[in-house]
Every structure is written in C-alpha cells, then in structure tokens.
Amino acid sequence: MRARALACLAAALFAGACVPSSESAKLRVQGAITAAPHLQRKAEQSDFVLLIVAMNAGGVPVAVRRVLHPKLPLDYALTEEDLVLPGPVRGPLTVKVHASTHGQAGITTHGDLGGAHPGPVDTEAREVNIVIDREF
C-alpha cells in the first residue's frame, strides 16, 4: 500500500500536478506582428492563415491562436482561451508565427512565412513583437 502511494505521488509530481501557485500564472502575452519589407506584399495575401504559437521550454505548444486573412500590422493577445490544454501555464515561453495558405499547424510548405520573438518571455509579457522575416 505504501509503495503504491509513493508511486502515485511520484507520478503526480512528474506530471506537474503539484506545482506551487507562485510558479504558475495566467496567460496574457501581448504584442504586434509585422512583416519585413521584403515580405510585406506576400504577407498581405488574402488567402493566408496566421498561426500564433506559444511554446514552453521543451518546445511543446501550450497556446495557439489562428487568424484568418490577417491584416498587418496585427495586434494580438494569447490568453487562456488559446490554451491547448486548460490549466496553469509556466514560463518561459517562446512565441512564433507561421503564415500559410493551408492553415495547418506543424506543416511547413514552400512559400509559407514565419517569424519569432527574439527571446523567451514571461506568461504575462507585453510588447512581444514579432517580425515575419522568413520565407520557407
């Protein structure tokens, strides 16, 4: 019985179920998305879908917002509504954008565009500005 209780406790700790509230926060990452001058015309295509993705330190997406037909510059906010799974979020986070005509996360095809905030951010960071500066 004691071994089973210890195994359950270890599993809960490994899964992050016992995270102190001081280490978790609500999600509210805000910023603006623009395009580099050489990609401005391509980024304004009417059939583009923009995915804004926040990933944890392990590279796992924790929040995703999908914007149909984005108009740049675009002000955005990632909130609890955008969480992949409900629950507390721990930083630091990496925030990236991916623009495509297919709109599917995790798939990059020729002609897609991308960009990322230059460094990790807190779960309640402001001015997390991103420049779309890559074409795949």
- 36-79 per-position pLDDT tens digit: 999 999 988 888 999 999 999 999 999 999 999 999 999 999 99
Q: Is residue 9 part of a domain?
A: no
Residue 57 lies in a domain: yes
What gap in Å lies between CA 73 and CA 114, rounded to an integer?
14
Average pLDDT, the chain: 85
pLDDT at 40: 93
Contact 80, 27 (CB under 8 A): yes
14 within domain boundaries: no
- Residue 25: pLDDT over 60: yes
Percentage of residues in the chain having pLDDT higher than 70: 82
CB-CB contact of 70 with 90 (8 Å): no
Is the model's pLDDT at 131 over the cut of 50? yes
Provide the number of structural domains found in the chain. Answer: 1
Residue 8 belongs to some domain of the structure: no
Range(s) of the domain holding residue 42:
20-135
